[in-house]
Homo-oligomer: A and B are copies of this chain.
Amino acid sequence: MALSGAVRHATGSQPGRAGGSARAVTRTLSDDPLGGTVRRTVLPSGLRVLTEAIPAMRSVSFGIWVAVGSRDETGPQAGAAHFLEHLLFKGTRKRTALEISSQIEAVGGETNAFTTKEYTCYYARVLDEDLPLAIDVMCDAVADSVLEPADVETERGVILEEIAMHDDEPGDEVHDLFARAVYGDHPLGRLISGTEETVTPMTRRQIQSFYRRRYTPPQIVVAAAGNLDHATVVKLVRQALRGTPLDSDPAVPAPHRPATPAVRTKPAATLVEPKETEQAHVILGCPGIDRTDERRFALGVLNNVLGGGMSSRLFQEIRERRGLAYSVYSYASQYADSGLFAVYAGCAPGKVDEVLELTRAELARVAADGITADELARGKGMSKGSFVLGLEDTGSRMSRLAKGELLYGDLMPVDELLARVDAVTLDDANALAAELLARPMSLAVVGPFGANDFTA
């Protein structure tokens, strides 16, 4: 029923969209004491441009974010968003693949892209003087790719190698297995890359159709942070998109948005991927909360205390006291309409039962007794400190602008975010722990086991 989350937010949050007018609408969003001035312009087409001007920086990070990811695919399309992401670096009417990469690399810039379940991002980081070049190259690549049939074939090989590489990394693979344990056949349970079975037969026509239906101006947020001038960035983006399918001047009709299925999570499931590894890679977890849930700040603090750092309960219990794992941590993921909370550990295959028992016991203890005031304070310090430390780099500032716009339709000012973390009470954290950590837990294991070894 519901549209996918990222997309719903994106289409639902265009207060500044200027309809049929040819005027771009600009406003200043925030001017926080730690950062620069944030400005937002909505072009007549609905494409949004956000910038943060930070004159003390020498670099600029520039990103094109599209509100489409693997959850927007149908089953047979699985991997289309990611396949497309690869192809957009392969050439446009103006540039070959080599020209795209060499023009950025010749000035020492970095460029890359990634696909998630809810969005796709193309970005570059360059010295400030090279921003016009980066805007021109990146906009051209994303807006006007030709998807040459021969390139589709070549890139299919690259993607199949990427999938094979991933299969050689059991510590990554177990995260995908866990998503499948929780979401089953729902798109959130599928691999972002697709599988060999879906990527092999995918046609250029399917990918082309996905591109043109999904990459429309209202679904796109352009974000930049660093030593820049907002009006110049807007002007350069409009110039670079002129004459492309993303031309930002004419208003475009609202995109056709096929419905994607409502999220269902399965009852707690256990999935084992038998593999002759040295370690057992294990994830124990449950459905969490969605991205707009007001308890997300409490969850951040709770997660820090449970398994967010070296001083966390699980790290202390499993690694520091018993030496059972090198890597053990908890994490929370949020999507538009769903979320995950999980604990990962990599341990000797013979110690899996002990590690699982200790983990379950610790989660049960926190569900029953809550965390302490000291832990709450430390968890808040971690949330605030890591957020503020993260603001010191143009890439993370650029991402903050884009994700705020794409996923929330808004940018939470730094001081408001810090205040929201500060406002988390012991009762908030413990009420959430009591509810969340008492949920039935799913289990994913990659290691030298049989498929039924963990089924009671």
Residues of A participating in the B interface, judged by any CB pair closer than 8 Å:
34, 56-59, 89-90, 97-98, 101-102, 105-111, 125-127, 153-162, 164-165, 167-171, 276-279, 281, 304, 309-311, 315-316, 319-327, 346-348, 377-378, 381-389, 391-394
Contacts and interface: CB of A to CB of B under 8 A. Distances in A.
B386 A110 contact: yes
B158 A106 contact: no
| Centre residue among A377, A392, A393 by max chain B CB count within 10 A | A392
Given A168-B277, A168-B279, A279-B168, A385 B107 contact: yes
Nearest to A345: B161
B161 A279 contact: yes
A159 B348 CA distance: 12
A324 B105 contact: no
A89 to B, nearest CB: 7
B171 A108 contact: no
A324 B383 CA distance: 42
Contacts of A304: 105
18 contacts: A34-B58, A58-B388, A97-B320, A98-B311, A101-B311, A107-B385, A108-B383, A108-B385, A110-B389, A155-B323, A158-B319, A161-B326, A161-B327, A165-B279, A168-B278, A168-B281, A276-B276, A393-B393
A345 to B, nearest CB: 9
Nearest to A153: B323
Contact of A278 (B164, B321, B322): B164
Contacts of A162: 326
B127 A165 contact: no
A107 B383 CA distance: 9
B161 A171 contact: no
B389 A108 contact: yes
A97 B319 CA distance: 11
Nearest to A347: B161
Contact of A125 (B110, B167, B168, B389): B389
Given A34-B58, A168-B171, A323-B157, A106 B277 contact: no
Ranked nearest first, the 7 interchain pairs of A and B with the lowest CB-CB distance are: A108-B385, A157-B323, A101-B310, A102-B311, A154-B323, A164-B278, A162-B326
B171 A170 contact: no
A109 B385 contact: yes
A326 B322 CA distance: 39
Given A97-B320, A311-B102, A316-B98, A327 B108 contact: no
A327 B159 CA distance: 10
A342 to B, nearest CB: 18
A159 to B, nearest CB: 8
| Centre residue among A108, A159, A319 by max chain B CB count within 10 A | A108
B56 A108 contact: no
Nearest to A91: B320
A132 to B, nearest CB: 15
B321 A154 contact: yes
A171 to B, nearest CB: 7
Contacts of A169: 168-169, 171
A156 B322 CA distance: 10
Contact of A322 (B154, B171, B388): B154
A392 B59 contact: yes
A167 B278 contact: yes
B385 A127 contact: yes
B106 A377 contact: yes
